[in-house]
Structure 1
Amino acid sequence: MRPRLLMVIAEDWYFWSHRLHVAQAAQRAGYEVAVATAAGELQGRIEAEGFRYFPIQLDRGSTNPLAEAGSVASVTAVLARFRPDVVHLVAHKLVLYGSIAAALTGAPAVVCAVAGMGYLFMGDGLKRRALRGVVQRAYGSLVRRGARVSVILQNPDDQRELAAAGMIDPAQVTMICGSGVDTERFAPAPPPPGVPVVLTHSRMLVDKGIGEIAEAARILRDRGVPVRFRLVGDPDEQNPSTIPAATLRAWAEEGLVEHLGRRSDIPEQLAACHIACLPSYREGAPLSLIEAAAAGRPLVSTDVPGCREIVRDGDNGFLVPVRDGAALARAIEALATDPALRERMGRRSRERALAEWSRAHVAQATLDVYAAQLARHPRGQRALRKLSAT
């Protein structure tokens, strides 16, 4: 019997875009792999990869105690049924609920992947502060004190803040920058002729800086700078920071942006642009910027955790102050009006993507975390012996 890996992720599309290659690498290494997500449209494709699939009850935006208890029970039932040797939990809510489930079912190795601090940690409203306090205490009990728990983070700022809040022990942490990019699928293409296009690939959230993009577009239009802004992604109704579809339509009608919605042809969208932009308020290590870097595009982002790990100011793009549409407009104008600068910075983006963010690198680093965590428990040690025998 092969050792078992269970990946627990809120949504199937996120597994497919961010973790599929890790699951495939684990499968090649000898693991039996299962995926648990809230029910979505990709179950058939996930199962076609040879993975078992388990639907779970989860509402990312809910704070209803009964619904949340149901989510914990749902995740626990999956662990009890599949009996994984390694449980890989992604994002804050499932880190907490999955840690409870792992403790109840005796899973020998738990890996918690936190890709950024998220909505709760980017504001000081009363509700956010209250929820943040609950999350911090829960992390302290379930994650920091968990002998079988390892934590994957994407940038050192998150490690410092989580440790300072008593949510993790730095000794638990492995730093893996980003989710990995397919550097063959996301390959450089000659930029198209015509007016420079700025592409933003993201959920349509206030916290992603989408409002600042509209502000920058208005500034550059009024200044007479020829540039087009293209938004790829949908609003996220489960996130309190979502931008209403009506607002996006109004911006499009004003001629500020083109909103294309969610797309599956991201390499083609990058090939059709000249500049990639994500003026986010905070990130883990944004995949959209990493993909744009692999595609050889210059980047414009904000000088905040996560983004500054991907963009080196003046090297492969520009960093601007957060929530500053005027500074964003200046950085975009500098690139839009200088093709040679775009070419130089885009070349550096590609070089860094190949050296630092390839999927092969990220997948192997993650498998190493699994192995290290398994080695700490007798059942995990038996699983490792099975791997070595395959």
Structure 2
Amino acid sequence: MKPAFKSTPALRITLVCNTAWAIYTYRQGLIRMLVGRGVDVTVLAPRDRTFELLTAMGCRCIELPVASKGTSPREDLRTLLSLYRLYRSIRPHVVFHYTIKPNIYGSVAAKLAGVQSVAVTTGLGYVFIQQSRAAQVAKKLYRFAFRFPREIWFLNRDDQAAFVEQNLLVHPERARLLHGEGVDLEQFTFTPLPERAEFKFVLIGRLLWDKGVAEYVEAARRLRERYPQARFQLLGPVGVDNPSAITREEVAAWEQEGIIEYLGEAHDVRPFIADADCVVLPSYREGVPRTLMEASAMGRPIVTTDVPGCREVVADGVNGLLCEVRNAASLAQKLAQMLDMSGAERRAMAERGRQKVAEEFDERVVVETYKDLVQKMTGVLL
């Protein structure tokens, strides 16, 4: 039976993540929709520079202790208790959890506090990349915690299949495929490829070893002498709170070697995508990478790995090229293939990329999915 919709909503919705940066970067469309409809939006995350930006968008931001790098039971219990107390205080109608620790401890805390929640698995990360004891513990915690959310959203089919096959879902009927979190097609407009002698590759994202940065650097070493016109750039934060983080000193060593240009980090990646000839992401595993959706939306050919998440965005030979994961030689071969293409071939890839994103990854469709579920869970018409 459909709920009787209330006419004067005073909804409280909370978004929880291990970084405020990810909420700001990936969920602006959702936040604009909620705030525009009078929803009280609270963001719980470790404090960073995007707190002010989220506040300017109309969110209330509260600092949350999350030790992303560690596996300390004491620190994780602190996160769980903090979330429980915050939920008891805020009394949100719906909580959306993103990333592993908010997904696990937030789902449990929401159940204890009597709050409805939704878990969004933005990418399975080290849990499904490594075969460590910590990864095995994380899977058991996932199985326990994921019995509580109203729905569990997966961004790609591989991640959903992995949870089902490994029996990590007590209620598999609650799983839902979101197929990425979408991209704003009006914000990321198609931009013609640069016409110049030099050729710029750029890797955009948090600088983590799991993103394939080492393979990218090694591929650059192999190609620089053969292709003196090629430039290899990195854009994104270093030294982030993640077990796979790369330090500024390591990046500086590559700069000193003369093979990498580090562009720092940016709130707005569009000028950097527009200035690139090809966007590269040799990641080990992803949800559905926003960087690749944005690059395709702006008409940039892509080179990425044939792994879950990345292959959702790139059809090999259509809007980009796929290489083998953790294989610098394979990556170098695909980058060379991109360099050897004619301008017309790359332009055709660019146009097909924009078309693919427009058909499959329009952010408006994702925002409607959120809106429909909130209405179903609360009975409030947004």
Q: Give the TM-score of the pair, scaled to structure 1.
A: 0.90
Identity among equivalent pairs (%): 32
- CA drift at 1:47: 2.4
**Which moves more between the two structures, 352-361 or 340-349?**
352-361
Q: Which runs of 5+ in 1 are unaligned?
A: 375-382
Counterparts of 1:39 and 1:255, CA distance in 2: 35
Aligned to 2:119: 112
Q: 8 Å contact 2:197–2:229 — kept in the other structure?
A: no
Q: Which runs of 4+ in 1 moved over 6 A?
A: none
Q: Is the 8 A contact 1:191 1:271 kept in 2?
A: yes
1:55 aligns with 2:63: yes
Give the equivalent residue in structure 1 for 2:4.
none
- C-alpha contact (below 8 Å) 2:285/2:308 kept by paired residues: yes
Give 1:30 shift. 4.9
| Aligned AA (1:155) | N
Question: Are positions 1:93 and 2:101 aligned together?
Answer: yes
Corresponding residue number in structure 1 for 2:241: 238
Give 1:103 deviation, angstroms: 1.1
Matched, 1:285 2:292: no
Instruction: Find the partner of 1:37 among 12, 29, 45.
Output: 45
Please, which of 339, 343, 346 is the counterpart of residue 347 of structure 2? 343
How many residues get paired?
371
Question: Which AA in structure 1 matches 2:172?
Answer: P
Matches within 5 A, 1:253-272: 253-272=256-275
Partner of 1:167: 168
Partners of 1:268 and 1:77 lie apart in 2 by 42
Once residues 106 and 268 of structure 2 are traced to their aligned partners in structure 1, the CA distance between those partners, rounded to angstroms, is: 33
Of 193, 196, 199, which aligns to 2:199?
A: 196
Name 1:378's counterpart in structure 2. Answer: none
> Aligned in 2, Cα 1:111/1:293: closer, same or farther, shift over 3 Å?
same
Contact 1:54 1:78 (C-alpha < 8 Å) held by counterparts:
no
The structure-2 alpha-carbon separation of the partners of 1:324 and 1:31, relative to structure 1 and needing over 3 Å to count, comes to: same
Corresponding residue for 2:5? none
| 1:244 Cα deviation after fit | 2.8
Instruction: Report the Cα offset of residue 320 of structure 1.
Output: 0.8
Q: Partner residue of 1:379?
A: none
2:333 matched residue in structure 1: 330
Which residue number corresponds to residue 274 of structure 1? 277
Superposition pairs for residues 207-218 of structure 1, below 5 Å?
Answer: 207-218=210-221
Structure 1 counterpart of 2:229 = 226
Residues 335 and 341 in structure 1, CA contact (< 8 A), matched pair in contact too: no
Deviation at 1:29, TM superposition (A): 4.3
Partner secondary structure for residue 223 of structure 1:
coil
d(CA) in 1 for partners of 2:284, 2:201 = 19
Shift of 1:277: 0.6
Give the secondary structure class of the aligned counterpart of 2:118: strand
AA of the residue aligned to 1:119:
Y
Q: TM-score normalized by structure 2?
A: 0.92
Give the partner amino acid of 1:347.
E
> For the residues of structure 2 that align with 1:36 and 1:219, how far apart are their CA atoms?
44
Aligned partners of 1:136 and 1:166 also within 8 Å: no
More deviation, 193-202/304-313: 193-202
1:353 maps to which of 354, 357, 373: 357
Residues 1:320 and 1:172: Cα distance change in structure 2 (over 3 Å): same
**Is the Cα contact below 8 Å between 1:217 and 1:229 reproduced in 2?**
yes
Q: What is the alpha-carbon distance in structure 2 between the residues aligned to residue 289 and residue 343 of structure 1?
A: 17
Which residue in 2 is equivalent to 1:380?
none
1:218-275: CA deviations, max 9, x gaps?
1112324531111101223432222232221122222211011212231000110110
Of 284-293 and 133-142, deviating more is: 133-142
- Structure 1 residues 353-380: Cα deviation after superposition (integer angstroms, max 9, x where no partner): 21221221211122223334x1xxxxxx
On the 8 A contact 2:279/2:300 being kept in 1, the answer is yes
Distance (whole Å) between structure 1 residues aligned to residue 184 and residue 82 of structure 2:
33
Task: Select which of 355, 368, 372 maps to 1:368.
Answer: 372
Q: Is the 8 A contact 1:155 1:309 kept in 2?
A: yes
